[in-house]
Amino acid sequence: MGDIRFSAVSGIAVLGLAGILYAWRRSSRATRYPPGPTPAWLTGNLHDLPSGGNEWVQYRDLSRKHGSDVIHLDIFGSHLVVLNSVRVANDLLDHRGSIYSSRPRMVMLKELMGWDWNVVLMSYGETYWAHRRIIQQELQPRIVTSTYHPIIARECKMLLANLLRAPDHFVHHLKSLAAAEIMMISYGQQIDPEGDKYVRLAEEVRESGVGPPASHLVDLVPALKYIPEWFPGAGFKRHARWGKSLALRMRQEPYDIVKEKMAAGVAIPCLTSRLIETLPSTSDIAKDELIMNCTGAIYSAAADTTTITLTNFILAMILHPEIQHKARAEIDSVAGRDRLPDFSDRASTPFIDCIVKEVLRWKPVTPLGIPHATTENDIYLGMFIPKNTTIVPNLWAMLHDPEVYYDPEEFFPERFLPTDTRDACPDPFRVVWGFGRRICPGRHLADTSLWMTIAFLLWAFDFEKPKDARGNTIEPNVTHGNDIVSVPSEFSCQILPRSREVASLINSFDFGY
């Protein structure tokens, strides 16, 4: 009898253990992390993090190696998930935006350098929305059209004059254009094209950046933020202090000038003056700080994206003269040769629109986007994505996916025009400006500025590869940087007015507002 009772108990125990193992296995399968390299015992996947340049390509290659558009890395216990297709980015960042719309902690950039003021980097919440609502309201398409078109047109004319006068310094002129547009829109401030302090300041702020996600050890080991500056290896603390002071100057100096001019009755109407006059004081955020943060975020974001995209456009034109010729023929057929293009011409110049799209797709300014962070645990297609995971949208991989964009490495604007045998490729506009609740609120202003500038440049100038003293063509050898924004290296370009009449028209411009 005892043997029978023992056998029954043993059977129940075995069945119970089997049930537990079955449930555990089902649970582990349901909550497994996305595919990725096998982590080491202590450091996780630290040795697997892409480095040495073109990290976006290396992340794409990891995705292919592991057979998944979603890949996972564990760095000292912190989770990093990289999204390598538009489909998964839409599924998570758009459709599950309630838990995928925050930003990572970013110890170096936000806590040490003090960039938590920037709406682009703010964690999701009320403070974020207080800033975003203002920026979104002031940069909506209706206001861009009614208020900012004349500013953009005026600064594009100034760009043509500067290129006619000193074509070899085209990158400097593009920086001046970007700064001039945003300084006038945000602060009613005209810049000095010969060498403006705000252009230099914006450049310094960009150079104080800290690279792509996880590029500083303190982001992986946050306790390092507490070591003193004099400690060996603490150079990042001194760099952070320098970058913090630059960012404060960038926000405060032009804001103070607007307030001084308003007090004297000589301020040019602008975004800052309008907000000072109309924005009610809030109990949570000081009004001055709120306005400074919003205008500073617009200034810092616009300066980089405009300059880099237009530099890539010029590179594309000298590499592909046949595309340049086709675009000029279109703009000439609409605007003629005795007037500049106008915003009203956009609907009649579909190929120029395609060039704008292709420049943004070909060399995305932020190849890895701006990282998101999860605010809750999530399960996606059976893969477990924990709370506080850093989510990196690999925009470059999405925009160079051969399943979506044929011959993705080629600059080919025609891909956005349907033919009898092929549908048009998807508009990259939906990718390059981000996803979900963090999509760039300034995208309409940026798109308008890019179209106008590119149309003006194609109407006015020929862009050619330079030649050496013997008349031999010099081929450009351009690389793109590996920071959060991908800056092209310097290259030479021959820029010539298309006719004497064009030069005469440019010399006759009136630059008054």
Report helix, strand or coil for 384.
strand
Q: Report the chain's C-alpha Rg in angstroms.
A: 26
The answer to whether residue 7 sits within a structural domain is no
DSSP codes, 52-117: SS-HHHHHHHHHHHHT-SEEEEEETTEEEEEE-SHHHHIIIIITTHHHH-B----IIIIIIS-GGG
With the C-alpha atoms ordered 373, 376, 377, 383, is the resulting torsion angle positive or negative?
A: negative
| 410 to 60, 293, 338, 402: CA distances (angstroms) | 18, 39, 34, 11
The answer to whether residue 385 sits within a structural domain is yes
pLDDT tens track of the chain, all 513 residues?
A: 444 443 443 444 444 444 443 343 334 334 599 999 999 988 899 899 888 888 999 999 999 999 999 999 998 888 999 999 999 999 999 999 999 999 998 898 889 988 889 999 999 999 999 999 999 999 999 999 999 999 999 999 999 999 999 999 999 999 989 989 999 999 998 887 777 777 777 777 777 766 655 567 888 788 889 998 888 888 889 888 888 888 888 889 999 999 999 999 999 999 999 999 998 876 567 899 999 999 989 988 877 889 999 999 999 999 999 999 999 999 999 999 889 999 999 999 999 999 999 999 999 999 999 999 999 999 999 999 999 999 999 999 999 999 999 999 999 999 999 988 889 999 999 999 999 999 999 999 999 999 999 999 999 999 999 988 888 899 999 998 877 788 899 999 999 999 999 999 999 887 765
> How much is the pLDDT for 12?
42
Dihedral over alpha carbons 337, 342, 344, 347 (to 10 degrees): 70
Q: Pull the structure tokens for residue 330.
A: 């279109």
The answer to whether residue 6 sits within a structural domain is no
Q: Domain span at residue 109?
A: 27-508
Q: Domain tally for the chain? A: 1
DSSP 499: -
The answer to whether residue 10 sits within a structural domain is no
> How much is the pLDDT for 365?
94
219, 211 in Cβ contact below 8 A? no
**Residue 394 parent element (H or E):** none
The answer to whether residue 20 sits within a structural domain is no
With the C-alpha atoms ordered 73, 212, 389, 403, is the resulting torsion angle positive or negative?
A: negative
Q: Pull the structure tokens for residue 393.
A: 């949208």
DSSP codes, 271-294: HHHHHHHHPPP-SSS-HHHHHHHH
Tokens 């996880």 identify what position? 214
DSSP 44: B
Q: What is the CATH number of the domain that holds 488?
A: 1.10.630.10
Distance between CA atoms of 198 and 392, rounded to whole angstroms? 31
The answer to whether residue 17 sits within a structural domain is no
The answer to whether residue 13 sits within a structural domain is no
Distance between CA atoms of 438 and 123, rounded to whole angstroms? 11
The answer to whether residue 18 sits within a structural domain is no
303, 201 in Cβ contact below 8 A? no
Q: Does 440 belong to an annotated binding site?
A: yes
Distance between CA atoms of 250 and 181, rounded to whole angstroms? 16
- Going by C-beta distance under 8 Å and a sequence separation of 6 or more, which residues neighbour residue 508? none
Q: Pull the structure tokens for residue 312.
A: 């890539």
Report helix, strand or coil for 461.
strand
Backbone angles phi, psi at 106, to 5 degrees: 50, 65
Give the count of beta carbons closer than 10 Å to the beta carbon of residue 329: 11
> How much is the pLDDT for 210?
60
> How much is the pLDDT for 153?
94
Report helix, strand or coil for 480.
strand
> How much is the pLDDT for 84?
98
Report helix, strand or coil for 365.
coil
Give the count of beta carbons closer than 10 Å to the beta carbon of residue 371: 23
Distance between CA atoms of 487 and 53, rounded to whole angstroms? 12
488, 363 in Cβ contact below 8 A? yes
Nearest by Cα to 193 from 170, 176, 175: 176
Q: Pull the structure tokens for residue 278.
A: 């109309």
Beta bridge partners of 385: 378
> How much is the pLDDT for 283?
56
> How much is the pLDDT for 513?
58
Distance between CA atoms of 406 and 483, rounded to whole angstroms? 27
Q: Pull the structure tokens for residue 131.
A: 């800033």
pTM of the model: 0.89
Distance between CA atoms of 155 and 149, rounded to whole angstroms? 10
* Amino acid making up residue 146: S
Distance between CA atoms of 97 and 341, rounded to whole angstroms? 40
Q: Pull the structure tokens for residue 257.
A: 């000038």
Backbone angles phi, psi at 70, to 5 degrees: -115, 120
Q: Pull the structure tokens for residue 204.
A: 């310094």
